[in-house]
Amino acid sequence: MIGLVDYGMGNLLSVRHALEMVGAEVTLCRNGEDLRQVERIVLPGVGAFRDCMMNLKKRGLIEALEEAVLRLGKPILGICLGMQAMARRSFEGGEHPGLGWLEADVVRLHPDPPALRVPQIGWNEIRYRTGSPFFKTLPPSPDFYFVHSYFVKCDDQAIIEATCDYGGPVTAAVRKGNIFATQFHPEKSQDYGLKVLEHFLSWKP
C-alpha cells in the first residue's frame, strides 16, 4: 500500500492516477495513523514552501513522517515541493526551516543567460547517475516535465541522482538512504515518468 500524503498542497489526483497506472494500491494519508498503515510514502507538493511546512505542522504530519521515514525506514518519494520540503531550509519568500532530512538549501533559479524564463516550465533533459535504480530502463538523456522557480542545492554532491541544465546545473533528483525525490513531475512526464514511479515501487533501499 502506497500512502499519498494529503496536506492541502499536492496535485493529488494526477499523482494518484499515475501511481495506479503502474499498479500501485494508493491511500490518502491525512494524519499520523494513516502513515502507520502504509509501506511506502509519496510526498507531493505544489505551491509555496512556507505554506507547505505550515500545513504539514498543522496536521501533525511532521512527527509522523519522521517516525515513518527516519526511524522505520519506509521508502519515500518526494515530488517537486515535496522534495524541497526535505531540505534544511528554503529562501523562498524569506528564510524558512524545512524537514532537515537533506543537507541542502532551496534557492531560486538564476539562469545564465538571464533571459531564460523563471519559473522553468516545460520539458527538459536530465542526466542521471550510472546505475540509478530509478532510471535504469530509460535512455541516456530522457525528458521530464518541470514547473519550478526554486531548486534544491545540495552540500553533498553524492546524493544527487540526476541533474538538468537550465542556464546552469539544477538538481533534478536526489537519493539518500530510503529517500528519493525529484524536482520534476513524474506524474506529468508520460512514459518516462511512469517508469520512474514503477521503479520506486520496486525499490529496495
- Nearest alpha-carbon partner for 86 in 77, 94, 75, 95: 77
Rounded Cα distance, 127 and 149, in Å = 20
Model pLDDT for residues 4-50, shown as the tens digit of each residue = 999 988 789 999 999 999 999 999 999 999 999 999 999 999 899 99
Please report the domains of the chain, with CATH numbers, ordered by start residue: 2-202 (3.40.50.880)
Measured CA angle at 184 (ends 163, 192), to 5 deg: 90
Q: Which three cell numbers stand for residue 50?
A: 512556507
Q: What residues are annotated to the active site? A: 80, 185, 187
pTM value is: 0.96
116 C-beta neighbours (distance < 10 Å), count: 13
Model pLDDT for residues 156-173, shown as the tens digit of each residue = 999 999 999 999 999 999
Query: What pLDDT, on a 0 to 100 scale, did the predictor assign at position 122?
Result: 97
